[in-house]
Amino acid sequence: MITTLLHLAEGRLVRVSGPLTVSVVDGQVLVLGAIFSRGSSFHVDEFKSYGVKALVDSSLKIYMSPGASVEEPQSGEEPLDLWVSRIDDVMRRGCSSLAVMGPTDAGKSSVAALAANRALLRGLRTGVVDADIGQADIGPPAFVSASIVEKPILSLRELRPLYQRFVGSISPQRFERRVAAALVESVLRLRAEEGVDFIVVDTDGWVQGVNAVEYKLEALRLSGIESIVVMGDRELYRLVDRMYGRYGCGVVYLPSPAQRRIRDRGARRILRSRQYRAVLSGSRPRRISMSDVSVQGSCLFAGTPLTPMELQEIGRILGVKVLAASVTGDALVAVVAEKPRGNSVARLESLYERQQVYLVEKGSVKGVLAAVVDERGREHPALVDDIDFATNTITLYTPFEGEVRGIVFGNVRLNEDYVEVGRPSRCLL
């Protein structure tokens, strides 16, 4: 670790990239719209960079781990002042809610945190809804989470979820209705139950095409969000402005930082894995009879179960043991002990006159991400361990200890290290 002492004259700005910790020895600095005074300190993790601006002559002690850097930005590179002034302007105009939209890595979550910090400085009770299921910060990925901001934050990750809703996928495509419903519910609950004065919504980075944008705007409009900040994409800004510009405080454009830490797919996967681990590690196993719960998000459990004789018949065609199977309108789902060989699936399709036959290998139900639903309809993260088809019972890991009324299965599967494995599938089980 390298320790340096940095003097920053009033008005000067540096860009710091983690992992590092800054302690304010003297003076006062602005980071993400929050003010850090003498004696306080803040941490910047390995995947983050921020502008740090001296509000008065300041001295900073910086503890840098390998990979960290402190640089002087070129003129026009650092957006911090512009971000603060545009966000302050929305608040000055009396608007009490703001959503951030933009492509991945545009700076959405940073501006969401900044807006929360500015609202706190105004003494407003502030709530945040994290509707970015792919790069979730407050709760686990595949969940929409909401929280109250009690103190200045440098990342939404510092917040603990107060509410959470399971979407079941880390990508919003085909799951738009769950994201939208969860977003609307979270905003309304923050207002009704928590009495917040200001709400910030962070959204997913899927902004290609009108549908991607429109589903988010629909949810924001229905939850009464009064202004939208579009980050780093002028064409997107014009589209959102045409669709939302006349509501409330309208649509604001903010540039992304010209120089910033970018996370590649690997880094994003690691970040998601940390979030899964944070909520699921330490969970205890629970055995639940599938006939005692309502089930959503499963192809198998949605269908009419086949009889033992039919299972045998299918097993004969496939040449493998079939543990369970069901049919719905156009699909047949069968749980098999192992992968069958040859083109026996096609024979099954024609025999049962189903357009689709999904085979689920028994071993692959382990690690499927799910949520358990309690008697008040609240959802809690869970991970499938095993399903015993002979007794129709499921074993899953969840931190929730109360009565379970329902299970919602997702399309994400995790290994023992909480790392996503395989591709998301329409019918994981």
Ligand X SMILES: Nc1ncnc2c1ncn2[C@@H]1O[C@H](COP(=O)(O)OP(=O)(O)OP(=O)(O)O)[C@@H](O)[C@H]1O
Q: In the range 114-143, which residues lie near Mg ion by CB under 5 A?
A: 135
Beta strand pairing call for 406-413 and 227-231: unpaired
Query: Does the footprint of Mg ion cover residue 109 (CB under 5 A)?
Result: yes
Cα(175)–Cα(144) distance, rounded to whole angstroms?
Answer: 12
Residue 205 or 315 having the CB closest to Mg ion: 205
Q: Which residues, at least 6 apart from 5, have a Cβ–Cβ distance to it below 8 Å?
A: 25, 59, 60, 61, 62
- Nearest approach in angstroms of CB 421 to ligand X is 21
**Residue selected from 36, 50, 143, 244 as contacting ligand X according to rule CB under 6 A:** 50
Partner from Mg ion, ligand X, none binding residue 126, C-beta < 5-8 Å depending on class:
none
Query: Does the footprint of ligand X cover residue 33 (CB under 6 A)?
Result: no
Binding mask 199-238 for ligand X (x = CB under 6 A): ------x---------------------------------
Cα(385)–Cα(399) distance, rounded to whole angstroms?
Answer: 14
Residue 128 or 360 having the CB closest to ligand X: 128
- Nearest approach in angstroms of CB 236 to Mg ion is 16
Partner from ligand X, Mg ion, none binding residue 247, C-beta < 5-8 Å depending on class:
none
Query: Does the footprint of ligand X cover residue 324 (CB under 6 A)?
Result: no
Beta strand pairing call for 198-203 and 126-131: parallel
Partner from ligand X, Mg ion, none binding residue 186, C-beta < 5-8 Å depending on class:
none
Residue 97 or 110 having the CB closest to ligand X: 110
Q: Are 233 and 102 in contact (CB under 8 A)?
A: yes
Query: Does the footprint of ligand X cover residue 53 (CB under 6 A)?
Result: no
Judged by phi (left if over 0) then psi (alpha if -120 to 50, else beta), residue 39 lies in left
- Nearest approach in angstroms of CB 109 to Mg ion is 3
Mind giving me the DSSP string for 375-421?
A: TTS-EEEEEEEEEETTTTEEEEEES--S---EEEEEEEEB-TTS-B-
Instruction: State in Å, rounded, how far the first CA of the chain is from the last one.
Output: 48
Partner from ligand X, Mg ion, none binding residue 102, C-beta < 5-8 Å depending on class:
ligand X
Look at residues 312, 310, 290 and name the one whose alpha carbon lies nearest to residue 301.
290
Contacts to ligand X by CB under 6 A: 15, 47-51, 78-80, 102, 104-110, 132, 135, 205, 257, 260-261
Contacts to Mg ion by CB under 5 A: 108-109, 135
